[in-house]
């Protein structure tokens, strides 16, 4: 059981880190004690901001000796309260934001080593100057850090072609819970020395130690992209279109996002300067993007495939972006869904995955189950259809106090959604992780064998439980 940090521990940490790296100032800590969604509010005995791997290791050694709890934090853009300390005020916030150097870019090998606190957007900019691209992006790229992205095994809109963070991490440097440094940055293609610690840290949510740096795979910067906004009848037809594009031009297909009309409608109502790409409304839309080097070939491929899909009755209408600005406008519609939804009122968010072929059935059946159990509840599914992952949001019935409805029914609504997902062999967290938000439901619905294995790993590496207590697994 972690203990409250003693005054002598706080003094030792302050001496170690100096004024730039140690703070107990309430105003300085305040922005980092509430999560991005504003759902979780914590307190901390101090905020520690080491500037090097050696400083992180020294911090962890001091805390391990004193059994003091550490909550690693990057950009605080996580969605499940994973980086928010508890309300006791006894935990120490360990910010990695000062570790923000891109240490090395190996252009020939297509590998860069970035420290944990490098912000995703800055990393994109840094590698682009070498004609390279880190093929993972997401709406929180202006805040999310490499350490946070590794620790949540983040996804985003290019997983279809390039995979999640786990596929992009070539090596890792981490400080383990006893304060020792694991240097696994060498980007080995083949390494069969047993358990893969690199992958263990992907998605560990700060419960197994601190990621201090990562070696990351890069690809050549795409010089061309083609984007289409496509009206379709249903998730089934969207999936049939995906299969068709994948078979014909899958090597260049980077994005395939499913959007219901209700989401587009919310964006158009709430986000200034947005407009519908198609003249008529359609029940569902697909935002598809190809990336590559040959602009003409990409354009011909996309136009040809979509014309054939129109002829086959798979697609109702298509708008092709004529230039980069129009592509950005299409993506803005997609990326603004969460903001527009927030303006519409409270909702229960579930980021779930099921096998891709079962997704249309889930999207159709789950609202029926919800309607039977919670009359008037409205469900919206949008996102990464090609990955079998949608954001499945449930809004309260119209005309009632939404916050009160969520307070009364939220847990049962989510249980209904997650139980359905588990029945289909899916995951209750496709992207955002477990954090504190889903810890109890994971313990309730996951298989005993899997939970026991997760606990074994956690207790084996962190027997005193000082790393991010209360998150992911007990
Ligand atoms: C607008 C918006 C859109 C988003 N879209 C997506 C999306 O499409 N796909 C997706 O996957 N996510 C998405 N996210 C969620 C979020 O951006 C990711 O979870 C991101 O990986 C969090 O990075 P962070 O640096 O902010 O981590 P934090 O929020 O600070 O931390 C997240 C977790 O990682 C741990 N952690 C952080 N740094 C370290 C470290 N160095 N060592 C060990 N543990 C650490 C924390 O303890 C916590 O458990 C979105 C967020 C926003 C705000």
Average pLDDT over residues 132-144: 94
Rounded distance between C-alpha atoms, residue 283 and residue 388, angstroms = 20
Q: List pLDDT tens digits, range 263-303.
A: 999 999 999 999 999 999 999 999 999 999 999 999 999 99
Cα dihedral across residues 10, 12, 14, 17: positive or negative: negative
Rounded distance between C-alpha atoms, residue 165 and residue 303, angstroms = 31
* Cβ-based neighbours of 10, under 8 Å, separated by 6 or more: 24, 45, 46
**Which CATH number is associated with domain 345-438?**
3.30.70.2740
**459-469 burial code (b ≥16 CB/10 A, e <16):** eebbebbbbbb
**Which CATH number is associated with domain 7-98?**
3.30.43.10
With cut-offs at 50, 70 and 90, classify the pLDDT of residue 206: very high
Q: List pLDDT tens digits, range 401-450.
A: 999 999 999 999 999 999 999 999 999 999 999 999 999 999 999 999 99
Indicate whether 386 pLDDT > 90.
no
Looking at residue 1, its pLDDT comes to 83
Structure tokens at 407: 């307070």
Rounded distance between C-alpha atoms, residue 420 and residue 443, angstroms = 16
Looking at residue 78, its pLDDT comes to 97
Rounded distance between C-alpha atoms, residue 6 and residue 20, angstroms = 21
**From the candidate CATH numbers 3.30.465.10, 3.30.70.270, 3.40.50.300, 3.30.300.280, the one assigned to the domain spanning 102-220:** 3.30.465.10
Average pLDDT over residues 323-331: 96
Domains 224-338 and 345-438 equal at CATH topology level: yes
Closest ligand 1 atom to Cα of 165: 11
Indicate whether 354 pLDDT > 90.
yes
Q: What are the phi and psi torsion angles at 19 (to 5°)? A: -65, -30
Rounded distance between C-alpha atoms, residue 166 and residue 358, angstroms = 24
Starting at the edge strand that comes first in sequence, how are the strands of the sheet with 284-292 ordered? 253-260, 284-292, 224-232, 317-320
Q: Where are the domains of the chain?
A: 7-98, 102-220, 224-338, 345-438
Looking at residue 474, its pLDDT comes to 78
Length of the chain: 474
Average pLDDT over residues 216-221: 96
Closest ligand 1 atom to Cα of 471: 49
Closest ligand 1 atom to Cα of 431: 11
Looking at residue 37, its pLDDT comes to 86
**From the candidate CATH numbers 1.50.10.20, 3.20.20.70, 3.30.70.2190, 3.30.450.40, the one assigned to the domain spanning 224-338:** 3.30.70.2190
Looking at residue 241, its pLDDT comes to 97
Ligand 1 binding residues, C-beta < 6 A: 36, 71-79, 82-83, 96, 116, 138-140, 143-145, 147-149, 151-152, 154-156, 205-206, 210-211, 338, 431-432, 435, 468, 471
Q: What are the phi and psi torsion angles at 224 (to 5°)? A: -140, 150
Using alpha carbons only, how large is the chain's radius of gyration in Å?
Answer: 23
Q: Residue 109's CB: how many other CB atoms inside 10 A?
A: 12
Flag the least confident range among 46-50, 224-228, 248-252.
Answer: 248-252
């Amino acid at each position: 059981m972690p203990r409250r940090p003693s005054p002598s521990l706080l003094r030792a940490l302050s001496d170690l880190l100096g004024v730039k790296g140690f703070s107990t100032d309430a105003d300085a800590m305040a922005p980092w004690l509430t999560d991005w969604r504003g759902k979780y509010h914590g307190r901390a005995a101090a905020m520690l901001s080491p500037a090097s791997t050696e400083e992180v290791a020294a911090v962890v050694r001091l805390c391990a000796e004193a059994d003091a709890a550490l909550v690693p934090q990057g950009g605080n853009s996580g969605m499940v309260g994973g980086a928010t300390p508890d309300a006791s005020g006894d935990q120490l916030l360990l910010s990695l934001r000062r570790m923000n150097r891109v240490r090395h870019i190996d252009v020939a090998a297509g590998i860069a080593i970035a420290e944990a606190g490098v912000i995703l957007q800055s990393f994109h900019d840094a590698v682009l100057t070498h004609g390279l691209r880190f093929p993972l992006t997401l709406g929180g790229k202006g805040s999310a850090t490499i350490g946070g992205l590794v620790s949540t095994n983040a996804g985003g809109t290019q997983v279809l072609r390039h995979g999640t963070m786990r596929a992009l991490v070539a090596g890792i440097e981490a400080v383990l819970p006893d304060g020792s440094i694991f240097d696994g940055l060498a980007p080995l293609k083949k390494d069969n020395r047993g358990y893969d610690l690199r992958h263990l840290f992907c998605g560990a949510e700060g419960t197994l130690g601190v990621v201090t740096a990562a070696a990351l795979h890069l690809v050549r910067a795409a010089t061309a992209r083609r984007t289409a906004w496509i009206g379709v009848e249903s998730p089934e037809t969207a999936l049939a279109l995906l299969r068709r594009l994948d078979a014909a031009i899958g090597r260049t297909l980077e994005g395939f996002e499913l959007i219901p009309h209700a989401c587009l409608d919310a964006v158009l109502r709430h986000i200034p300067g947005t407009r519908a790409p198609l003249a008529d409304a359609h029940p569902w839309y697909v935002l598809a993007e190809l990336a590559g080097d040959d602009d003409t070939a990409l354009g011909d491929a996309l136009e040809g495939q979509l014309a054939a899909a129109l002829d086959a009755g798979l697609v109702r209408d298509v708008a092709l972006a004529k230039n980069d600005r129009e592509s950005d406008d299409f993506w803005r519609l997609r990326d603004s869904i969460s903001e527009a939804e927030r303006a519409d009122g409270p909702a229960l968010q579930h980021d779930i995955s099921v096998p891709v072929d079962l997704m249309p059935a889930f999207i159709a059946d789950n609202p029926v189950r919800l309607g039977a159990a919670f009359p008037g509840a409205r469900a919206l599914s949008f996102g990464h259809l090609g990955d079998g992952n949608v954001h499945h949001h449930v809004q309260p019935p119209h005309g009632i106090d939404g916050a009160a409805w969520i307070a009364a029914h939220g847990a049962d609504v989510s249980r209904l959604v997650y139980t359905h997902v588990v029945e289909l062999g899916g995951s209750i967290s496709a992207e955002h992780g477990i954090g504190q938000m889903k810890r109890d439901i994971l313990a309730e619905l996951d298989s005993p064998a899997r939970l026991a294995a997760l606990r074994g790993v956690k207790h084996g590496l962190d027997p005193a439980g000082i790393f991010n207590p209360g998150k992911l697994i007990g």
